[in-house]
Structure 1
Amino acid sequence: MEKRRLTVILAIDAVGYSRLMEIAETRTLSTLKSHRAELIDPKASQYGGQTIKLMGDGALMEFASAVDAVRFAVEVQLAMAKRNSALPDDERIDFRIGINVGDIIDDRGDIHGDGVNIAARIEGLAKAGGIAMHRNVHSQLRGKLDLDFEDQRDVSVKNIQQPVPVFDVSLNEKAEALATPVFKHDESQRRQVTRFTALAVGLCAVIVCVALVWWQFSRPDFAPVGSAEMDIPLPTKPSIAVLAFNDLSQGDDKDYLSDAISEEIISKLSRFPEFFVIARNSSFYYRDKSADVRDIAGELGVRYVLEGSQQKSGDRIRVIATLIDATVGYAIWTETYDREMDDIFALQDDIARTIVATLEQNIDIAEYDRLLHRPTKSQGAYELVYLSRAERFKFTPEGNENAKQLAEKALELDPDYAIAYFSLAWVHINCDRWGWCADRKQEEALGLALEAAREAVGLDPDSSLAHWVLAHAYMQANSLDQSEKEYNRAIELNPNSAGVLAGSVETLVYLGRVNEAVDRLTTAMRLNPHHPDWYLWTLAWARYFAGQYEAGLEAIDQMTNMPNLARRTQAALYVRTGQTEKARTSISELLKNQPDYTIKDQLNSLEGKFRDHNIAERFIDDLRTAGLPEGYCSQHHHPDCKESHNHQ
């Protein structure tokens, strides 16, 4: 079976080698061997490079780090310029160097694949004595090497389908500042070997022990996960799960900041349709569980897993991030970040950018940069919003009220913080739909939700979250066309958001596009394998209107804890499958918990929702058959009986 891995590939080639060989074959060969022995090989050893293949006038090399590969290239080209400076033109050998990060096939010590081919094509684009690199290499140098670059932009090359984004390294004074001496094995050094022979013998045991330790830690961290072992088939594009980072800090607010870091990375990666990004709910499912990376990758059906930790101390934070390829069994990238807390947004961007550049060569990093922005000028507001969301996720009246107060405090610190308005809009939607209003008037909630959601979109038009909450508010207000428009924009901005995809199903069903609704929810469930129960409820409800009654019952039977109102959907599905007695049992269970719930309540909750009113009547008739009483408006509802229960 072929072995694939991600690596840094460097191609180096002598310019005009055939012409030099024609002029003076022996001298040219001797000079080239001298450059290799005295410069290239020592520098490769210094920076951990491995020569995979010699090709007469050039070589194919591999490095573990993009930084090391570029430092090697810079030092070689600067040293070659000095070596050539005293030589006539017909004796000078100039090298071109091309560098790429890519997926390769390891074939018994030789390497093949697009990663190698692209490196060779980039080398051909370099100037004589120069260095060219793919944009994915350039991205990994940010903040690590102080060099200047020239953007060649996208270049079409032979046998590569997509244009290749290329950068040239400027070999100026910044590059010269990186240069280190070249180690040479001169005669004086060789004479000292004898003096150290006895010491070397004495150290043999230590060397053997170190070698054993190195061998132990250089092996794969775990047995690679084969495709056949995946619980869910791997997608065709790079797939990744970002786990909840471990919080090594102390204090009552433990975990919220580490969650925030992980969630922001998920959000940034999700913006790219080139990736398949597992939803937060499924990634965080493994918090405090004993499952290892191999199990997680297999259960979620992903190739890559990002894990890490953070520790906050005063105004500083340390974050360690590790990207693991489960199909090869070890980490392909790890980094430690020590930053001021005010720099946390840049830190999240750096991690996401590195993953983007590492996993997908064809992503437009310039487009990625356009999407980056600092969400708030206030660290305090940022922290309050994440605490607000934690309260809202409790899905209780008390949590909803706490979420409101925290979001409002965040807006006091930063009145232009779009995500604070997003959180506030959901609080008002919960008041409108569930009656969790504390001392506020329920009939005013929907207007407040629309106001907050519009403010969020106005402050951040590129926020998928802002468009999502506005879409939901429009759906609550029966503005289905506006709701669909906002959902489409939210999905366009974040095609990997399982929450947005699942949330849009209700609008699609009301518009009569039930098959599309079922397909969309199925996609959401693949992105979020450990999805909450409401996904299954929504799927069963959508399948009812799609005429997929047996499949609808299968979905609702998988629910862990069935909400009382979900029994309406279950009863209607039983009626459609000819199981009337079971339908009556479902309604009986519903009425035990809500004895005053009636057909009238259901009619009010669906009023104006469906584009085709006959569809709603079919659902109502099935509930009558199941035994739901006609009744009148409950005394707890609004005077006009237009209450806001979940419509499913």
Structure 2
Amino acid sequence: MSSEHVERRLAAILAADVAGSCRLIGIDEEGTLARLKALRRTLFDPKIAEHHGRVVKNTGDGAIAEFASVVDAVRCAAEIQRGMAEQNINLPQDKRIELRIGIHIGDIIIEENDIFGDGVNIAVRLEGIAEPGGISISDDARRQIRGKVDITFEDLGSQSLKNIAEPMRVWRVPNGRAMPAVPHRLPVGDVLTLPEKPSIAVLPFINMSGDPEQEYFADGMVDDIITALSPFKALFVIARNSSFTYKGRAVDVKQIGRELGVRYVLEGSVRKSANRVRITGQLVDTTTGAHLWAERFDGGLSDVFDLQDRVTESVVGAIAPAVEKAEIERAKRKPTESLDAYALYLRGLAKVYQFGNRQTNEEALRLFYRAIDLDPDFASAYGRAANCYVRAKINSWISDEANETAEVKRLAQRAVELGKDDAIALATSGHAFVYVVRDLEAGAALIDRALVLNSNLAEAWAWGGWVKNWLGEPEAAIERFARAMRLSPLDPWVTRMRGGTAYAHFFLGRYDEAVSWAAMALQDSPDYQPGLRIAAVSNAMAGRPEQAHNAVARLRQLNPALRISNLQDVLPPIRRAEDLSRYEEALRRAGLPE
């Protein structure tokens, strides 16, 4: 036995290799080698250093790197894959350089400037079973990072790795999953860039009434304050769906500022007792935690809209003194003269925001109809009612197609007649015209009008993104979905924004990007049918038949009647015949019957 001392230590090892490097070099040897060298210099090596690692050796078309922390190694791998994907966006599939990455934490042997041992060997074998653009990690590494990185790993179970004695449990991040454009929660230290203009999030107000049934009223106050602030073009206002993710949680305002990318937060409470209402509010600077103002607003129930106006004026006066007075006056618009109709409308919104099933959708519709019965001139109630039918259409819940289409057209037209300056009424009506009435141009024009009136309306940007897809303008669609996700970075409906982005990439012929976005869309809503359809077609066109067939199999479980021949029942009109033809052909390849 040798008495020579062997230096060992525990380390996280990252092994990376170019997928299909021989094919790439065969096509263009000099060009590929030059691109590999540039990627090392501009992306790979800087990211390793940024995350406190060191490149131990380069292996021609790959590299081995060592980290003291497996958390650093995994975050580094995710950022490298994100950077690779961004560089590949405009390249054809056969010209793309894609990395496989494997990570393990284990014992290594140090000899001069090199490292050896099972820790290194296992990382290399994990890299070998990763898919192009993906990451594979050992179970040992997974235990060390649990709860510390904002990446979802899939369990591959026990795997036999080449030249490794015992099978190992392996976890993976498929191509695209390591790089969500807008994560549900940002890792500590990640900060969204503050907009150039004053930015604000209005948090859910606390219901101080002692009656849980009044929760909808407190939420409605916040909805209306957000609605009143949103039309101010001098402000950047976070959408309701993101600010309400903090409901019932005690979170430091500085953290909220980081996660939503805003400078200011408005928080407060509502107390409704008999015919009196008290609203308290305080405006906080998220960068310093300083309170800019705190105020109490009291009045009769009949004065509730005036109280909301006063809260809005106080906020605007504190953070955007340059806002034109005309905009403030325009924002003072009572949605209805009937407080009973208003209460029913708020209860309907509460059902809508449950993001629930067929039953909650039908309950919301009934409440909006009751609000309309009490106030036949309530524009937003007509628009929201029409949008309930859109939800039913998308989920195949409509039973009487002809009559329900006629009713949607009536509701949407009435909303437009009554709400010429009401962005919500216009946007919801436009959405209904596209999906149910099937009038693409009319719907697009209404959504565009809504965005002119209120450039902070995230749902209008998202619906507008879908419309741009169907109009054959996918590049514009991507921009609109990105705007929607920035305005509402924690939105429970981000699934639909990601799904729409996947469709845009599909229509642009960027099938790998479409696969990645479809996977992100399905991550939290695995039965989202438009997401399953885009997963099927994009995987089929990207040469991944197994994944395409799996998506179609799940689609047919959810909607057994779905066929190529009746696709029009679940799709709005698609302007470009070539887009529809390619979509249908991809579904055929994925296994959807005629």
User: After TM superposition, is the score higher than 0.5?
Assistant: yes
Instruction: Name the SS for the 1:461 alignment partner.
Output: coil
User: Does residue 1:584 correspond to 2:546, yes or no?
Assistant: no
Contact 1:230 1:301 in 2 (8 A): no
Instruction: Show CA shifts across 1:164-185 (max 9, x none).
Output: xxxxxxxxxxxxxxxxxxxxxx
Cα distance in 1 for partners of 2:311, 2:233 equals 18
The aligned counterpart of 2:196 is 236
Q: Deviations over 1:54-79 (max 9, x none)?
A: xxxxxxxxxxxxxxxxxxxxxxxxxx
1:541 to 503, 519, 534: 503
Whether the aligned pair in 1 keeps the contact of 2:190 and 2:258 (CA below 8 Å) is: yes
Deviations 1:96-148 (A, max 9, x none): xxxxxxxxxxxxxxxxxxxxxxxxxxxxxxxxxxxxxxxxxxxxxxxxxxxxx
Cα-to-partner distance string for 1:409-463 (whole Å, 9 max, x where unaligned)? 22232222222222222233344444545xx733211221121122122222110
Distance 1:257 1:575, change over 3 A: same
Please give the residue correspondences for 1:37-436 in structure 2 after superposition, counting only pairs within 5 Å.
Answer: 231-394=191-354, 395-436=356-397
Per-residue CA deviation, residues 26-46 of structure 1 (Å, 9 max, x unaligned), is xxxxxxxxxxxxxxxxxxxxx
In 1: Cα distance, 2:264 partner to 2:327 partner: 23
What pairs with 1:501-520 in structure 2 (closer than 5 Å)?
501-520=461-480
SS in 2 for 1:618: helix
Task: Compute the displacement of 1:335 (Å).
Answer: 0.4
Aligned-partner SS, 2:267: strand
Gaps of 5+ in 1: 1-227, 631-648
1:567 aligns with 2:567: no
**SS of corresponding position for 2:321:** coil
Change in Cα spacing, 1:427 to 1:567, as seen in structure 2 (3 Å) is closer
Deviations 1:522-552 (A, max 9, x none): 0100111112222222221222112332222
Offset at residue 345 of structure 1 (A): 0.5
User: What is the rounded CA distance, in whole Å, between the counterparts of 2:574 and 2:279 in structure 1?
Assistant: 49
TM-score normalized with structure 2 length:
0.64
Separation (CA, whole Å) in 2 of partners of 1:491 and 1:367: 15
1:470 and 1:266 map into 2 onto residues whose CA distance is 20
Please list, as runs of the form range in 1=range in 2, the aligned pairs for 1:393-542 lying within 5 A after superposition: 393-394=353-354, 395-436=356-397, 441-476=400-435, 477-531=437-491, 532=493, 533-542=495-504
Deviation digits for residues 475-502 of structure 1 (CA, Å, limit 9, x no counterpart): 1233222122111100011101110000
Shift of the 276–475 alpha-carbon distance from structure 1 to 2, 3 Å rule, reads same
Q: Taking structure 1 as reference, are residues 280 and 604 closer, same or farther at Cα in structure 2, changes over 3 Å only?
A: closer
Which amino acid in the other structure matches residue 369 of structure 2?
E
CA RMSD of aligned residues (A): 1.9
How far 1:557 sits from its partner (Å)?
Answer: 2.1
Q: CA deviation at 1:585?
A: 2.2
Other-structure match for 2:581: 617
The answer to whether the Cα contact below 8 Å between 2:345 and 2:371 also exists between their aligned partners in 1 is yes
Q: How big is each residue's C-alpha offset from its partner over 1:349-373, in whole Å with a ceiling of 9 and x where there is no partner?
A: 1111121122123211123203322
Contact 1:247 1:258 (8 Å CA) reproduced: yes
- Rounded to whole Å, the distance in 1 between the matches of 2:273 and 2:374 is 23
Partners of 1:544 and 1:259 lie apart in 2 by 38
Partner residue of 1:124? Answer: none
- Size of the aligned set, in residue pairs, is 400
Closer, same or farther: CA 448–604 of 1 in aligned 2, 3 Å:
closer
- CA shift for structure 1 position 573: 1.2
Q: Is the 8 A contact 1:242 1:305 kept in 2?
A: yes
* Structure 2 letter corresponding to 1:404: L
Residue 588 of structure 1 aligns to which amino acid in structure 2?
A: A
- Describe the SS at the equivalent of 1:312: strand
User: For residues 625 and 352 of structure 1, do their structure 2 counterparts lie closer, same or farther at Cα, with a shift above 3 Å needed?
Assistant: same
What does residue 562 of structure 2 align with? 597
The CA distance in 1 between the partners of 2:394 and 2:453, in whole Å, is 27
Superposed displacement of residue 260, structure 1 = 0.7
State the AA in 1 paired with 2:590: A
Does structure 2 retain, via aligned residues, the 8 Å contact 1:517–1:542?
Answer: yes
**Rg comparison, structure with higher value:** 1
Q: Which moved more, 1:461-470 or 1:587-596?
A: 587-596
TM-score, normalising length: structure 1: 0.59
Indicate if the aligned counterparts of 1:462 and 1:493 stay in contact, CA closer than 8 A: yes
Q: State the shift of 1:617 in Å.
A: 0.6
Note closer, same or farther for the CA distance 1:400–1:442 as it changes in structure 2 (3 Å cut): farther
1:628 counterpart residue number: 592
| Equivalent-residue separation in structure 2 for 1:335 and 1:529 (angstroms) | 29
Match for 1:298: what amino acid?
R
SS at match of 1:610: coil
% same residue? 33
Q: Is the 8 A contact 1:429 1:445 kept in 2?
A: no
Q: Is the partner of 2:566 in helix, strand or coil?
A: helix
Instruction: Report if the CA contact (8 A) 1:431-1:442 is conserved.
Output: no
Alpha carbons of 1:456 and 1:604: their partners in 2 closer, same or farther (altered >3 Å)?
closer
Closer/same/farther in 2, CA of residues 441 and 602 from structure 1, 3 Å limit: closer
Pairwise CA distance, 1:506 = 1.8
1:599 aligns to what SS in structure 2? coil
Secondary structure, aligned partner of 1:376: coil
Structure 2 residues without counterparts, runs of 5 or longer:
1-187
TM-superposed CA distance for 1:603, in Å, is: 4.7
